[in-house]
Structure 1
Amino acid sequence: MSLVTKAPPAAGSAPAGARGGHQKGDRRRRALGKNPIGLLLSAPYLIFVLAVFAWPLVFAVWMSFHEYFFAAPGAQVDRPFVGFDNFREVLGDPDVIRSFGNVGIFLIINVPLTVVLSLVLASALNKAVRFRTFLRVGYFVPYITASVAVVGVWLFLFSGAGLVNQILGPLAPEPSWLINSQWAMPTIALFVTWKQLGFFILLYLAALQNVSQELYEAAATDGAGKVQSFFSVTIPGVRPATVLVLLLSTVTGANLFTEPYLLTGGGGPNGASTSPVLLMYQRGIEQGSPDVAAAIGVLLVIGVLIIAFIQRQVAGGDES
């Protein structure tokens, strides 16, 4: 009988079963990450995003390609596929085109003002000034206050006999701001900028904490003043926050609804302040054409994505 002896495994090599276990463990780590408990903790928010944002968006896209109308719960109705008919109707509607132009005017005013004012004010509040905490709270209070509560103040300020017109006297526009087709949307843009400024100031304050003071000291050593330090150190240092502010202000501006609905009585005068979201409400709920409203929403999402991509490339690119 011959004796066959197995050679011992080479040093540093693992048994086949152990290698298989390691491979399974590697695949599990790649699928679940280094901390699987994080997936469990984030699962409720993921479910919330899927239920509140992802599913309605998918359903809106489906509606935009079908002849959809409201029916009684449980009723079986035919909703045929119509292709791009809803989009052709939307793109041929002058009211829709005007609403996108209105929100474009809003974004042109609101987004640059938001970025500039929030960055300048955050830089000032980041310094050791008196009443810094009081000022921070004061800027943030309008953001957390309901729009319905502060709309009355702006109606008083910008009405025909309001405080603003009394100060301007003969320079005040006629008709007044919110009933003037040229000034209605710029006035709304100023209102939204003032109301949301506190939130974006906090974003910049958080970003300014990560800008090293050594950079300011080096700039001062090179002879740079406060203004030069602001442009050469502060602005590059908060570039990722600037990209975020641009994106958030664009998204919130594109979803403009409450302010024109309350300030101008639903998009007046004569549609000069109608936003796409307000028009979606009017077409989908008031006029019973949810398929047309969904087509407007899909076009709005595409437009926001294009603008956000351009902003990222121009303002921050991949460095952000």
Structure 2
Amino acid sequence: MRRGLLGRVLGEHPVGAVFVTPYVVFLAAVFAYPLGFAVYMSFHDYFFTAPGAIVERPFVGFDNYVTVLSDPAVRRAFWNVLVFLVINVPLTVVLALGLANALNAAIRWRTFFRVSYYVPYVTASVAVVGVWLFLFNSNGLVNSVLGPLAPDPSWLVNSKLAMPTVAIYVTWKQLGFFILLYLAALQNVSKDLYEAAAMDGADKWKSFWNVTVPGVRPATTLVVLLATVTGANLFTEPYLLTGGGGPDGASASPVLVMYQKGIEQGNPDIGSAIGVLLVIAVLALALIERRFVGREES
């Protein structure tokens, strides 16, 4: 029985377990252990001490979670990231699929355009943020072009426009990666389907809607999930673009608030509670998206 159980665990080719083990160790060390330790901290009165100091950190139950959920700054941060996802995820899917479909066609300078869309994704955020600050500050290029139509206060210091501006920036910066995913998926859509659609009298739009969109549905599910997870972990963009979530927390994200409360204010137990709630919220949202976006894959 022991051999049978070991055989089921290792499979027909046990050597595969040898190659998988380093990755399993990596996941345990980088993801599983920190998450488990965060859950532990969230249920205790945890605080930083000098190295080697032995102090009591009493169990406090759900007190940290009550504190987090009653904090207006935390509730607003979760609302902000929801606004961000509502803008970012659909915009990412539509633009990435549309541009990938265009770049998959036989057009001039196709390689140049593919590289151009991918460059912002691999460029350091600090460098790209500097360009966007130049474009969207009060005296920036965008306001100069808009003239009297420019918002007042300006984009990044406007409580209603700060988070949408951050969402558009993130969409633009990460678009190249998602275009690459769709380009790979488009290679698996049979050309025979397009020929059959053309024979049935379908124009380009109907072919796109009835052949391309269903053909890349698995990629769409992946894009939606990745955009949701990366968006929920938003930190660098509001930290750099709006000076730490301004104005007055209008662009603060849960990860940014977690950093502020856990590191800057020295309350790692509160920060851990925010992180655990964020993980639960993202998992729930991902399951909902997987159910609805990928429902026709099975």
- Range of TM-score over shorter length: over 0.9
- Which of residues 86, 91, 98 in structure 2 aligns to 1:113? 91
**Residue in 2 that maps onto 1:179:** 157
Deviation at 1:25, TM superposition (A): 7.0
**Residue in 2 that maps onto 1:144:** 122
**Residue in 2 that maps onto 1:314:** 292
Q: Where does 1:1-320 land on structure 2 (aligned, <5 Å)?
A: 27-317=5-295, 319=297
Deviations 1:111-162 (A, max 9, x none): 0000000000011111111111111111111001110011000000001111
Aligned partners of 2:40, 2:296: CA distance in 1, in Å?
A: 33
Deviations 1:211-242 (A, max 9, x none): 11111111111111110011101111111110
Deviation at 1:35, TM superposition (A): 2.8
Aligned length, in residue pairs:
298
Aligned partners of 1:33, 1:206: CA distance in 2, in Å?
A: 31
Deviation at 1:68, TM superposition (A): 0.4
Code of the residue aligned with 1:256 in structure 2: it is L
Deviation at 1:42, TM superposition (A): 2.2
Aligned partners of 1:136, 1:147: CA distance in 2, in Å?
A: 20
TM-score (norm 1): 0.91
Aligned partners of 1:38, 1:122: CA distance in 2, in Å?
A: 36
Deviation at 1:46, TM superposition (A): 1.5
Larger radius of gyration: 1
Aligned partners of 1:217, 1:29: CA distance in 2, in Å?
A: 48
Deviation at 1:39, TM superposition (A): 1.9
Unpaired stretches in structure 2, ≥5 consecutive residues: none
Deviation at 1:32, TM superposition (A): 1.0
TM-score (norm 2): 0.97
Unpaired stretches in structure 1, ≥5 consecutive residues: 1-22
Code of the residue aligned with 1:198 in structure 2: it is G
Secondary structure (helix, strand or coil) at the match of 1:167 reads helix
Code of the residue aligned with 1:244 in structure 2: it is L
Secondary structure (helix, strand or coil) at the match of 1:34 reads coil
Secondary structure (helix, strand or coil) at the match of 1:319 reads coil
Secondary structure (helix, strand or coil) at the match of 2:278 reads helix
Aligned partners of 2:29, 2:237: CA distance in 1, in Å?
A: 27
Secondary structure (helix, strand or coil) at the match of 2:249 reads coil
Deviation at 1:95, TM superposition (A): 0.5
Aligned partners of 1:290, 1:278: CA distance in 2, in Å?
A: 13
Aligned partners of 1:198, 1:290: CA distance in 2, in Å?
A: 36
Aligned partners of 2:25, 2:112: CA distance in 1, in Å?
A: 38
Code of the residue aligned with 1:310 in structure 2: it is I
Residues 228, 37 of structure 1: CA spacing in aligned structure 2 closer, same or farther, 3 A cutoff?
A: same
Aligned partners of 1:308, 1:25: CA distance in 2, in Å?
A: 38
Code of the residue aligned with 1:279 in structure 2: it is V
Deviation at 1:267, TM superposition (A): 0.7
Aligned partners of 2:40, 2:290: CA distance in 1, in Å?
A: 29
Q: Report % sequence identity.
A: 70
Aligned partners of 2:77, 2:4: CA distance in 1, in Å?
A: 53
Aligned partners of 1:318, 1:59: CA distance in 2, in Å?
A: 38
Deviation at 1:29, TM superposition (A): 3.8
Deviation at 1:27, TM superposition (A): 4.8
Q: Root-mean-square deviation (CA), in Å?
A: 1.3
Deviations 1:74-116 (A, max 9, x none): 1111011111000000110101000001111110100000000
